[in-house]
Amino acid sequence: MSQTITVIPGDGIGPEVTQAVLAVLKAADADLEYDEQIAGLVALKEVRDPLPKATLDSAEQNRVILKGPLTTPSGSGFRSINVAFRKAFDLYANVRPVRTLVPGGRYEDIDLVLIRENTEGLYVGVEHHIGMHGDPRAAAESVMIITRFGAERVCRYAFEYARANGRKKVTLAHKANILKFTQGLFLEVGRKVAEDFPDIEWEDRIIDATAMHLVLDPYQFDVLVMENMFGDILSDLMAGLVGGLGFAPAGNIGIDTAMFEAVHGSAPDIAGQGIANPTGLLLSACLMLDHIGQHEVSSRIRSAIDDVIRAGQALTVDMGGGASTTEYTDALVGALA
């Protein structure tokens, strides 16, 4: 029986890349039905709610979501819908693999996975202004929340992921030297979890040194696990190692629900121009296919991506080519034929 998934095309380049991904999924004979829903700016305009109940209901029913990027206004306006989704379905592990696709970049054969805690840390958004001397916004304060429960389940997920995927090593990156309570707890819990996985090599490193070492010699890493904001920042750095945000997929995994999305945002600077690279969302769809057991389909799509990129004839601008989103998508569809 085919699986119904909730599809949210999203804002900015979202609809363009989603259309491309659905065309490739069709060409690859993915056994899927789509329940298309709205969220973000589009939903705010159409139904005056950035996260409509119908969208939440659909996600709750289908339990698998493929989501395009959603614009989040900076500083003011509604809170991130991405964060709201992660909270609503307790999507505690954000899995972000990066793999070299375009040859000739700074590094060849990069193959790393970052697992980011997705529900705690500074991104819980517990923050407020503090008034002083007649200025109601003289200061601002934010609270980092780390719980033993949250740290334990994401660290355990990272080790289990390493074991299930034939990976050799887990690096826990932290700032326990300065943030002794919050980051200290994350490290303490990670150390304890590591004891249950004697078959997986493990190490802990300070986050800033990890960033430098990732740039100097990424091959010394394999699976990395860290709290929310550190993971957000380092996963973009890792995307840069393989040529940019256009290639980076993400899975947000909970106990009974999973949401798949590209790491990149809604790219308002190129929205509507037909030049966006859909590979990030397409690789996210591959993670989704793996998640629901359609491994054969995902591996054919990954091969098609490799073939088209290696042939180098229909690459989008961010990959150094001159092709439109549609031309690149047509090449992928052709490679799957």
232 binds ligand NAI (CB under 6 A): no
Give 141's strand partners: 128
318 binds ligand NAI (CB under 6 A): yes
Q: Which two tokens stand for residue 256?
A: 């009974």
Residue nearest to ligand NAI (CB): 265
Interacting residue with ligand NAI among 102, 173, 193, 267 (CB under 6 A): 267
228 binds ligand NAI (CB under 6 A): no
Amino acid at site 192: K
- Report the alpha-carbon distance of residue 243 to residue 101 in Å, rounded: 8
9 binds ligand NAI (CB under 6 A): no
Picking from 234, 232, 242, the residue whose alpha carbon sits closest to that of residue 212 is 234
- DSSP one-letter string for 11-27: STTHHHHHHHHHHHHHH
* Active-site entry in 157, 175, 318, 330: 175
Computed on alpha carbons and rounded to an integer, the radius of gyration of the chain in Å comes to 20
Residue 39 vs 200, nearer CB to ligand NAI: 39
Residue 17 vs 98, nearer CB to ligand NAI: 17
264 binds ligand NAI (CB under 6 A): yes
- Is there a catalytic annotation at residue 175? yes
Interacting residue with ligand NAI among 245, 286, 309, 332 (CB under 6 A): 245
Residue 30 vs 267, nearer CB to ligand NAI: 267
Residue 122 vs 170, nearer CB to ligand NAI: 122
Residue 224 is given by DSSP the state: E
82 binds ligand NAI (CB under 6 A): yes
H helices of 165-294, where?
182-194, 207-216, 228-241, 279-291
101 binds ligand NAI (CB under 6 A): no
Shortest Cβ distance from residue 231 to ligand NAI (Å)?
13
Interacting residue with ligand NAI among 58, 62, 72, 228 (CB under 6 A): 72
269 binds ligand NAI (CB under 6 A): yes
* Active-site entry in 208, 217, 219, 306: 208
- Segment contacting ligand NAI by CB under 6 A, of 56-64, 103-111, 142-150, 259-267: 259-267
Coil vs helix vs strand at 239:
helix
Shortest Cβ distance from residue 263 to ligand NAI (Å)?
7
**Which conformational region is residue 82 in: left (phi greater than 0), alpha (psi within -120 to 50 degrees), or beta?**
alpha
Shortest Cβ distance from residue 185 to ligand NAI (Å)?
27
Picking from 263, 261, 211, the residue whose alpha carbon sits closest to that of residue 236 is 263
Name residues whose C-beta falls within 8 Å of residue 33's C-beta, 6 or more positions apart in sequence.
2, 3, 4, 5
Shortest Cβ distance from residue 36 to ligand NAI (Å)?
17
Place of tokens 């980076």: 248
- What residues numbered 16-35 form the site for ligand NAI, per CB under 6 A? 17
Separation in Å, CA 213 to CA 53, 208, 314 = 44, 9, 34
Name residues whose C-beta falls within 8 Å of residue 149's C-beta, 6 or more positions apart in sequence.
none
- Report the alpha-carbon distance of residue 337 to residue 330 in Å, rounded: 11
- Segment contacting ligand NAI by CB under 6 A, of 29-37, 64-72, 98-106, 161-169: 64-72
What residues are annotated to the active site?
Answer: 123, 175, 208, 232
The residues of the shown chain that bind ligand NAI, judged by CB under 6 A, are 13, 17, 69-72, 82, 245-246, 261, 264-270, 276-277, 280, 318
